[in-house]
Amino acid sequence: MLYMKRTTRFLMLAVTMIATGATAAHAEDYYGAISISPHSGSTGWSHDYSSRWEAEEVAQSNCYQYGGDCRVAIWFKNACGAVARGPDGWGADWGNNRQDAEYAALQSCEKHSYDCQVIRWQCSGAH
């Protein structure tokens, strides 16, 4: 009888933990980044990396293949990022999906330029 009480308590505790989300498993974070060369407009990007640092390093490395003055324009976690460029400058931002990221990047670009166009977008995680 004592064994059954302990088993029942254990099962009740396990059900409570699952119902409240108190489990050992947790969602992975996925990082991405977009780099841009302001001079040439070249971009480099990354997605689904386990750290911001890795994502930025890969984006920079990819950008440097095409331009020498690359800089990280935007990084994002479990989201999307975008870069927009116009004749007088560029802007970048992120959003929960591609459409939100592109809209935000266009808004950012229009603070510095006109006729802005999205030149790169990327998502990390389940998007």
Under a CB-based contact definition with an 8 Å cutoff, are residues 100 and 82 in contact? no
75 lies in a domain?
yes
Is a pLDDT exceeding 50 seen at residue 107?
yes
Q: What confidence tens digit (pLDDT) does each residue in 41-96 have?
A: 899 999 999 999 999 999 999 999 988 899 999 999 999 999 999 999 999 999 99
Within the chain, residue ranges assigned H as helices are 2-20, 52-64, 98-109
9 lies in a domain?
no
- Residue 111's domain comprises 31-123
Number of domains present in the structure of the chain: 1
Is a pLDDT exceeding 60 seen at residue 32?
yes
